[in-house]
Chains A and B, each alone.
Chain A
């Protein structure tokens, strides 16, 4: 997440600046009402001077006459300030060592209701890339409404395997841990009103590969960016086919890769969270080199 990283870097910067300048240190301590001698040679003298300095008219210590308490408190305050400063410094140094580059975010994706299908793919990585982790539990009911259906593509079978959400337990019976990893698409069928699903998780970065095989692969973008097939790096061999689901038609719209471009519906484009079929004649690696700026 950009904000916490930014906040961490500012935190480190402030303490490093303070420690690098004695003038700034004194200024800060003065702001904290901590009196520190400006010249180290006259430490003792300064302390005496402070003790002997006539008290201000509004100083309540004069009426109570407890000068010793003031001296003790000053020493304690000084020690406490030094301790705080040391702790802050140590803390800032520790934080600079655990500087995190993880970027997290969310993607809202609407699943059409009325018993219709929506093809979608999880665009973010979570600590639980499973049916229950992505689409919620049954009791308490989180995520998809009860009665919703998720159909996962089985590459070996070349067919879908359906899972139905229930309002009890994990919501998915024994299938709660079925993996739904980033870049893998599913069909979601919502029986009631349309439902906006919020994918939350980490944006994958670096050199990423979505490996696809010959025949039908139900996939999605590994990262939450959008654009044409070329813009998102999807350039399969000629003869490959993209079948993109149309929620209004409730059927696929076909685009075929030719040696001179795309035929059929033309070059497909994708939004974060879209799922689609890629049919290859041979294995193809969809490689992304993605970094959040």
Chain B
């Protein structure tokens, strides 16, 4: 009997939790201005990765939403809040066009509704995008091609039956991830400069 009551309580709680969960529409389509598109700042993946100034799109890029409850200022504080992340979205069903000219509306996407954000309220969010072709590029964290993140923005997350709010954030650029050897070289250069100044 106790087991039955316990399981019923758990079931009721899970239903209540699911029903009260907030959701948000993840897209960057509020204006279709070029300034809101996700563009490429530097080509490092060949022609498939797109040219500088072009918008991302098609199957070669993925977008993802990250969020943490409350209003958070600064990337470090956001990371410290252990933000959650949505699934990665890609393909022609998400992007309006393939990677290319902004005039074709490359750089714009509509990933639909991201559910289970948490209890309705204000959340700090961030959109991230990356080149997903090749081994190890399925995730943003391990991607070696073009990557980029938006500035932090806040959204009032609502639950049914209140209408869904959309993510609104200014466009950002994806660019090459510096290789570890690049960091090492930069460090060597700095050390050499310091040494040179001391000898003088």
Contacts and interface: CB of A to CB of B under 8 A. Distances in A.
Contact of B96 (A243, A251, A258): A258
Interface string A237-261: 0110101010000111010101110
Nearest to B97: A260
A263 interface: yes
Interface residues of B, number: 20
Interface string A142-166: 0000000001000000011000000
Contact of A254 (B19, B30, B160, B164): B164
B142 interface: no
Given A251-B23, A264-B110, A259 B160 contact: no
B163 A243 contact: yes
A49 B30 CA distance: 95
Contacts of A265: 112
Interface string B4-21: 000000000000000100
Interface residues of A, number: 26
A199 interface: no
Contacts of B113: 251-252, 254
B160 A250 contact: yes
A231 B82 CA distance: 47
A242 to B, nearest CB: 11
B22 to A, nearest CB: 11
A213 to B, nearest CB: 14
A135 interface: no
Contacts of B161: 117, 119, 151, 160, 187, 245, 250-251
B163 A239 contact: no
B105 interface: yes
B32 A241 contact: no
Contacts of A172: none
Nearest to A238: B32
B163 to A, nearest CB: 5
A252 B108 CA distance: 22
A1 B25 CA distance: 44
A239 B161 CA distance: 22
Interface string A201-222: 0000000000000001000000
Given A239-B31, A260-B96, A279 B110 contact: no
A184 to B, nearest CB: 15
Interface in B21-39: 23, 25, 27, 29-32
A111 interface: no
B166 A241 contact: yes
A243 B23 CA distance: 13
B105 A281 contact: no
A256 B163 contact: no
Contacts of B31: 239, 281
Contact of A239 (B19, B32, B160): B32
A238 B166 CA distance: 15
Given A254-B113, A256-B110, A264-B112, A239 B29 contact: yes
A284 interface: no
Interface of A: 117, 119, 151, 159-160, 187, 216, 238-239, 241, 243, 245, 250-252, 254, 256, 258-260, 263-265, 277, 279, 281
Interface of B: 19, 23, 25, 27, 29-32, 96, 105, 108, 110, 112-113, 160-164, 166
Given A251-B113, A256-B110, 13 more contacts: A239-B31, A243-B164, A252-B160, A252-B163, A254-B112, A254-B164, A258-B105, A260-B96, A263-B27, A263-B110, A264-B27, A264-B110, A281-B31
28 contacts: A117-B161, A119-B161, A159-B162, A160-B161, A160-B162, A243-B163, A243-B164, A250-B161, A251-B164, A252-B164, A254-B25, A254-B112, A254-B113, A254-B164, A256-B25, A256-B110, A258-B29, A258-B96, A258-B105, A260-B96, A260-B105, A263-B27, A263-B29, A264-B27, A264-B112, A279-B163, A279-B166, A281-B30
